[in-house]
Amino acid sequence: MKALSQRRRHPLAAIALLLLGLLVTGGLYAVAGTVNEAKAQTTTYSAQDVEEGEKLFVANCATCHGIGAVGAPEGAHGNQAGPSLVGVGAAAVDFQVGTGRMPMQMNGPQAQVKPVQFNDEQTRQLSAYVASLGAGPAVPSEEVLDASQGDPAKGGELFRVNCAMCHNAAAAGGALTRGKFAPGLDGVSEKHIYEAMVTGPQNMPVFNDANVTPEGKRDIIAFLKSIETEGSPGGAELGSLGPVAEGLFIWTAGLGIIIGFTIWLTQRSS
């Protein structure tokens, strides 16, 4: 017992305990993250999906993103430099291609939504190819996309804390710097909302499962779908730009009414 007591007083004992605590905490964090990620993953891809996806990538994407998706230098082939896609995951491809943002129609501050160029099967194959290049966020499963299982009230809280500063409290979107913008979320599919959160497209930050759990993301989706169906209970939305825009509208309209009424009175008196 005396020898054990002496070891506890050793100057390195505190450091050893600290390292042990960090190892245990890191291990538990890794296990929890793996469990959460597994909840959101969908089925794996076949070798044929990967092979067909590579053919599509070489024909349509490699001029900007390079052969092997390792990225292309600026100005290569007369195009804007495309970033490396190694490790972005299938969800990033499914979002960008599935919303028509990619391939880009023209260079600009950010990719614009436009009619999709690839069908669902081709989008899946492109996703499979990019997913084969390195680990990344997977296309979410139906379970975490079911808005009926989410809590809109909790989702509203999460949205206001994490998203409203860019997308507006009513999810109507808003302007950012240098010609960029946060798009409105009305009509965006549940899958693409989830994929945007886990991949962080354009200027959007990444909300991984450690920041917002899969259940939390489902709650956010439930909130967004609830405000889509409820509409504007207060009357005209006025662009959902907030109290400043609404106050300016009321001031301008009210002032116009007063001026019109004044003109009408003076005309009657003359």
Is 65 marked as a binding-site residue? yes
In degrees rounded to 5, what are phi and psi of residue 167? -90, 0
- d(Cα 189, Cα 99) in Å, to the nearest integer? 10
Radius of gyration of the chain (CA): 26
SS3 assignment, position 254: helix
Is 10 marked as a binding-site residue? no
Is 64 marked as a binding-site residue? yes
Is 77 marked as a binding-site residue? no
Give Cβ neighbours of residue 108 (< 8 Å, ≥ 6 apart): 179
Give me 170's structure tokens.
């009513």
From its phi and psi, is residue 89 left (phi > 0), alpha (psi between -120 and 50) or beta? left
Closest CA to 85 of 110, 108, 103, 68: 68
Which residue has tokens 């990033």? 92
Q: What is the DSSP letter of 81?
A: P
Name the strand (E) or helix (H) holding 59. helix 47-60
Q: Summarize the annotated binding site for heme c as residue ranges.
A: 61, 64-65, 163, 166-167
- What are the binding residues? 61, 64-65, 163, 166-167
